[in-house]
Amino acid sequence: MVSVAILDQAGTAGPPAPREADTAIRPVTLRVSGAKPVRLRGRLLTGGHSRATGCIAWHEVEVWQIAGSREVAVALRTHRPDGDAADVHRAELFPDLAEALDWLEAFDPLADLSVDFDASDRRLSGVEVALRAAALRGRAEVVTREWRALLGEVLFVLDADTPA
């Protein structure tokens, strides 16, 4: 089962915060794996996370409007509960919301996943490799499905906030 939650201004799961709360501009530090963090002042447009029970990875997204400009920052975290794999943090700056959303739509949710077996290992039979590959495909489909659900919710919230 896929679970998607959109975060309110306090960072708790629930329905989108009222428009009045969206005006809160605050300093923000967005984490980046292997690089310096991105620091900005802005307001949270929307954020959320997806998570399926027993999933090999899930994602968290925050979309920030930078104070005094049209620029938008996106923070994206791929959480990998496997003890051997660290979470992957991304933060990107965009000249406007449209480009940020294009980037999110083009993001490959499987990019940060690792394969838990070596198909060239001669100790594994062809049948075992095929079974492990099929299981991995199934787990990857869950990650993709939950990412698409989260992305759909984020796009819906941002579209609802955009004047017609």
88 close to 33: Cβ distance less than 8 angstroms: yes
Average pLDDT over residues 56-75: 94
Alpha-carbon separation of residue 108 from 23, 36, 68, 98, 127 (angstroms): 31, 23, 31, 18, 29
| DSSP three-state, residue 148 | helix
Cα separation of 22 and 161, whole Å? 10
Average pLDDT over residues 7-30: 58
Per-residue model confidence as pLDDT tens digits over 107-129: 999 887 766 656 677 787 778 77
Confidence (pLDDT) at 130:
79
Q: Is 11 a residue whose pLDDT tops 50?
A: no
Q: What is the pTM of this model?
A: 0.76
CB count in 10 Å sphere of residue 96 = 11
Confidence (pLDDT) at 3:
41
Share of the chain above pLDDT 90, in %: 46
Q: Is 90 a residue whose pLDDT tops 70?
A: yes
60 close to 87: Cβ distance less than 8 angstroms: no
Q: Is 106 a residue whose pLDDT tops 60?
A: yes
Diameter over CA atoms, the chain: 62
